[in-house]
Amino acid sequence: MNQQLHVPPLTQTNKFLIIISTAVFLIASILSTYSNISLFNELGLSLGGILTGKIYQLLSFSFLQHGLLSVLFNGLIIWFIGSDLELNWGKRFYRKYLILNVLVVTIVYLLLSVVFKNSLNVPLVGFETLCYAVLVGYALVFPNRYLTFMFLFPMKAIYFCLLLIAMEFYGTLMSPFSASAWVHLFAIGFSFC
């Protein structure tokens, strides 16, 4: 089986997402390292933050990422997979899809924060939710295309997506602050609609 790597052009929406999320990550890393200021507590979505008037968290959380590998791999997902979706769906529908996913994740996380009192002030870092939405959309539009899991195992997009869902479900069972993992699962489920 001879397969070549398909590299779509980086679309305008995805370029914006990658630049903003990378810039926020770099600024957060620098502030955390040199001044002990945590942008995750300031920009991450938390019920405590919203209740104290930090309304900007409703959007800012979706650009936060935890580590350099997350920035790299999530950026590649947004570029390779998101760009194919944007080219297929069109800029307008693609943007609506992403915004709707962010809104749904926001509502669900805030509701879960009420239920899981221990995660009231644990901020949600949300760029992964955009990546999950993009992956699910890709699996639905191109189910028979091949993606490579861990750069070693080629599999159809639909199975790739199911594997990520299984990994996320495992995270919900093992996490002490499982609200964020449940939100990721809900985002995945919502993306199927």
| pLDDT reading at 97 higher than 80 | yes
Tokens of 40: 């995750």
Residue-wise pLDDT for 20-48, tens only, equals 999 999 999 999 999 988 888 899 998 88
User: Per DSSP, what are the bridge partners of residue 103?
Assistant: none
Give the number of C-alpha atoms closer than 13 A to the C-alpha of residue 30, restricted to the C-beta side.
6
Q: How far apart are CA 69 and CA 50, in angstroms?
A: 29
Helices 179-192 & 127-141 angle (0-180, nearest 10): 30
Which one is predicted more confidently, 189 or 135? 135
Residue-wise pLDDT for 110-148, tens only, equals 888 887 765 556 788 878 888 888 988 998 999 998 888
Domains of the chain: 12-192 (1.20.1540.10)
Give me the pLDDT at residue 188, please. 76
Radius of gyration of the chain (CA): 17
| pLDDT reading at 87 higher than 70 | yes
| Percentage helix, strand, coil for the chain under 3-state DSSP, each rounded to 5 | 70, 5, 25
The percent of residues above 90 in pLDDT, for the chain, comes to 36
- What is the torsional sign of CA 128, 130, 135, 136? positive
- Please return the burial class of 33, using the count of CB atoms within 10 Å of its CB with bins 0-12, 13-18 and 19+: exposed
Please name the amino acid found at residue 107: I
Please name the amino acid found at residue 189: G
Q: Are 67 and 19 in contact (CB under 8 A)?
A: no
For residue 178, what pLDDT band results from cuts at 50, 70 and 90?
A: low
Closest CA to 187 of 132, 123, 150: 132
| pLDDT reading at 1 higher than 70 | no
pTM equals 0.84
For residue 54, what pLDDT band results from cuts at 50, 70 and 90?
A: very high
